[in-house]
Amino acid sequence: MDLQDLVTRARRLVQPGQRRILGIAGAPGAGKSTLAAALITELHPHAVLVPMDGFHLANAELTRLGRRDRKGAPDTFDAAGYVALLRRLRAAGPHPVYAPAYDRHLSAGVVGAIRVEPDVPLVVTEGNYLLLDDGPWAAVRPELDEAWFVERDDDVARVAQLIARHVAHGKAPEFARDWVSRSDEANARVVAGTRGRADLVVTL
């Protein structure tokens, strides 16, 4: 299935006067953000992107909890807050909803960075754990009208891209390689177990 097929499928969710939510899940480096951004470009102004990553816990809080070296694991996000946002987005009241974004250069969430107008019919959300059936994450899937799972046909390329991304955002190459092998790949194994809860599997 190529991009235009995916755009056509996503466009079917666009119903004026109704708010629909499309979720895109997948392992770190699988291409979720790239696909989501491409969909938004094609569907603008009828769709807006609200990533899950804005709900990373602050670094100071992760340090307090003893989880700083596992940033990106399921318990390093405010999953309940993310669910609450999805419910607000689904309700589509008369006022705009402001969602957080994640700034990779700051390594922190930015509150109120994404404005979702009440008349936007489609919200696209992407992240690792949209299909995780555990703890507060289990409440995410029922809020999605459709869920896609993105995977790469070349795992070596996915890992290499992850390392390059970390280096581009300030990590030393050796540290980036260690982080990916120790943290990102552990998270990828968790995400892989959620594949069966998707409506569609997209291979990039």
pLDDT tens by residue, 49-100? 999 999 999 999 999 999 998 999 999 999 999 999 999 999 988 999 999 9
Residue 22: domain span: 3-203
Which amino acid is located at 37 in the chain?
A
192: pLDDT strictly greater than 80: yes
Quote the pLDDT of residue 139: 98
Quote the pLDDT of residue 107: 81
Quote the pLDDT of residue 153: 79
The strand pair at 108-116 and 97-103 is best described as antiparallel
Total domains in the fold of the chain:
1
Q: How confident is the model at residue 169 (pLDDT cuts 50, 70, 90)?
A: confident
User: b/e per residue, 52-71, with b = 16+ CB within 10 A?
Assistant: bbbbbbeeeebeeeeeeebb
Mean pLDDT of the chain: 93
Quote the pLDDT of residue 106: 83
Question: Which CATH number do you get for residue 161?
Answer: 3.40.50.300
Q: What is the pTM of this model?
A: 0.91
The mean pLDDT of 145-149, rounded to a whole number, is: 98
Cβ within 8 Å of residue 168, ≥6 positions away: none
